[in-house]
Structure 1
């Protein structure tokens, strides 16, 4: 199966390497659809507070639930390398937050952290999920997961922070974001396909192995959403863009569920120094720092991430 999958990638790389952007996007979406099917995930939608939210779901109603929450400009597809290792034993739900992925993207939407966390609770209620869930968030998704755990303690079995945003830890990147936002730009929002290499260097420590035309298609899909992404960032940061309107430290002490912290040691977006600050506000059952990994361990180190998630979940059933 893996060999055939790789051969298919090589064939498409030769066939589509010089194709138009629309063709590249079509191939990318086909690959994502195949990956989701191999992970036993269905693409579903629900109406939440009058807006359409898309999500992956393997619909295993008899199993404990894992809720995956992506980061800024990300989507449910960020979890496709981890999900296959969990779908046999868990009901896996990976959402597209409002303003992202295949969910609605209203320019005037409420993209505040609390609003996004509340929508997750509404979605779970609509799906008839009554048992507490294992909520896992990366970057902005970690910030939202923290607010979810604080708002809905009765719905939270565990909470996992993966390179979470929302901490008062500043570095060269956060200062650059502040300067860029004041000028109407953002380092994490692509303006053109040529931004691919710069964005990959920011997010990942390890070189991305996927064919370039697929990675370009990913960027091309996001470019039309630039205005919405800016509104999301404005909603979660203060007027000077130097801190968060709803910081993670405000809710960490309120979290009663067991906590796991996973971090990439080479993260240049949210420094690993944030872990020590988090531990001043919350007791973590376990902390894992991955060597030679950047901001997205679930993509750069999916086997290790899935292993540590499974062990944590099994200890907290």
Structure 2
């Protein structure tokens, strides 16, 4: 019996080792699965248009509860929303996709992943996946996802009942180092080694206590993935950060009539908090929330405060 158990254990180890050798990123995905379970979420996929979307969801809320659709930012993924999801599940139904091109969702070589194209894709995703679930759709967008959400709410008002923009891109905010580097054609989020990974984390997080630790071997695996994605990241940033689309979300925001939330952190080193006033000038109906002691990742650094602001936007049923 002991020999049989040892052989089974050895075989299992060999299979796991082979899988990791073929795809080391499975280590990161395994941790994402752990986070998914901890947040009380499930995972599914769907083909919408010409892309396969992977999304997390939770329907453990009253049938008439608002449905929150949460859209991540540049270099982000659905996992960025999990701390907030933990605080909102049960009161709301949750739908958290990886945008096409990012995370686990499909990317097509040479595809357009700028504000306009992604906004059109998001509208179709809401129509196909969110609307059939019933209830109000509350669209939340962070950073790049905020710009995409703003365009979607403006151009597809029948798809969005309420809108929340968190640290959103899409307006000409006060100059900072991040913006200057983007306009110069560089990617300030680029990760190619341990030093640049630390610089990336230091840029997006202000609160040291909220900054994630990425232990070995996950750090090396993550760095390798980001290096492979460097050309893709640059192509997206060229389009949304210094191309003709870069201010379309802010321009379109003047057409947003839905109840709205604007939420920023004072210490955001990516999308300077001056952006909130620019959006507010176009969305006078929006409630403004400015948080202290946090940076670009408000949804991770201050999830309790963000959850309270979202609750005030979405209401309860």
Q: What residue in structure 1 maps to residue 9 of structure 2? A: none
The CA distance in 2 between the partners of 1:84 and 1:299, in whole Å, is: 11
CA distance in 1, matches of 2:76, 2:250: 23
Q: Which residue of 1 aligns with 2:289?
A: 288
Q: Cα–Cα, structure 1 residues 223 and 43, in superposed 2: closer, same or farther, change >3 Å?
A: farther
* Structure 2 Cα separation of the partners of residues 166 and 21 of structure 1: 40
Gaps of 5+ in 2: 1-19
Change (3 A) 1:251 1:129: farther
Q: What residue in structure 2 maps to residue 187 of structure 1?
A: 188
Q: Which moved more, 1:131-140 or 1:20-29?
A: 20-29
Post-superposition shift, 1:174? Answer: 0.8
Q: Which runs of 5+ in 1 are unaligned?
A: 1-19
Distance 2:148 2:222 in 1: 24
* Worse-matched range after superposition: 278-287 or 84-93: 278-287
Distance 1:24 1:204, change over 3 A: farther
Pick closer, same or farther for the CA change 1:206–1:21 going to 2, 3 Å: farther
Q: Provide the C-alpha distance between the structure 1 equivalents of 2:182 and 2:241, rounded to a whole number of angstroms.
A: 11
Cα displacement (A) at 1:244: 4.0
Q: Secondary structure, in 3 states, of the residue corresponding to 1:161?
A: strand
Tell me which residue corresponds to 1:5.
none
* Conserved? CA contact 1:79–1:299, under 8 Å: yes
- Per the alignment, residue 277 of structure 2 pairs with 276
The residue aligned with 1:113 is 115
Alpha-carbon spacing, 1:259–1:97, altered in 2? closer, same or farther (3 Å)? same
Query: Is structure 2 residue 33 aligned with structure 1 residue 33?
Result: yes
Cα displacement string for residues 238-289 of structure 1 (whole angstroms, at most 9, x for unaligned residues)? 45xxx74452221111101111111010011111111222222111442111
Take 2:155 and 2:88, find their aligned partners in 1: how far apart are those partners?
A: 26
Q: Mapping of 1:83-102 within 5 angstroms?
A: 83-102=85-104
Matches within 5 A, 1:176-215: 176-179=181-184, 181=185, 185-207=186-208, 208-213=210-215
Show the counterpart of 1:308. Answer: 309
Name 1:142's counterpart in structure 2.
Answer: 146
Residue in 2 that maps onto 1:51: 51
Whether the 8 Å contact between 1:105 and 1:228 is mirrored in structure 2 is: no
SS in structure 2 at match of 1:263: strand
Residue of structure 2 equivalent to 1:166: 170
1:149-160 matches, within 5 Å, as 149-160=153-164
Could you say what secondary structure the match of 1:137 adopts? strand
Q: Report the alpha carbon displacement of residue 24 of structure 1 after superposing the two structures with TM.
A: 8.0
Instruction: Give 1:72's aligned residue.
Output: 74
Say which SS state the counterpart of residue 279 (structure 1) adopts: helix
Q: How far is 1:192 from its partner? A: 2.7
Residue 3 of structure 2 is matched in structure 1 by: none
Once the two structures are overlaid, the 10-residue window that deviates more, 297-306 or 35-44, is: 35-44
Question: Number of residues paired by the alignment?
Answer: 290
Going from structure 1 to structure 2, the CA distance change for 1:73 and 1:21 (only over 3 Å counts) comes to farther
CA offsets 1:36-77 (integer angstroms, 9 cap, x no match): 112221121111222111111124582321000111111101
Partner of 1:223: 227
Larger CA Rg, structure 1 vs 2: 2
Task: Quote how far apart the aligned CAs of 1:187 are.
Answer: 1.0
Answer whether contact 2:182 2:242 (CA < 8 A) is retained.
no
Bigger drift between 25-34 and 252-261 goes to: 25-34
Instruction: Name the residue aligned to 2:240.
Output: 236
TM-aligned CA distance change 1:26 to 1:194, over 3 Å: farther
| Rounded Cα–Cα distance in structure 2 between residues aligned with 1:24 and 1:104 | 19
SS across alignment from 1:80: helix
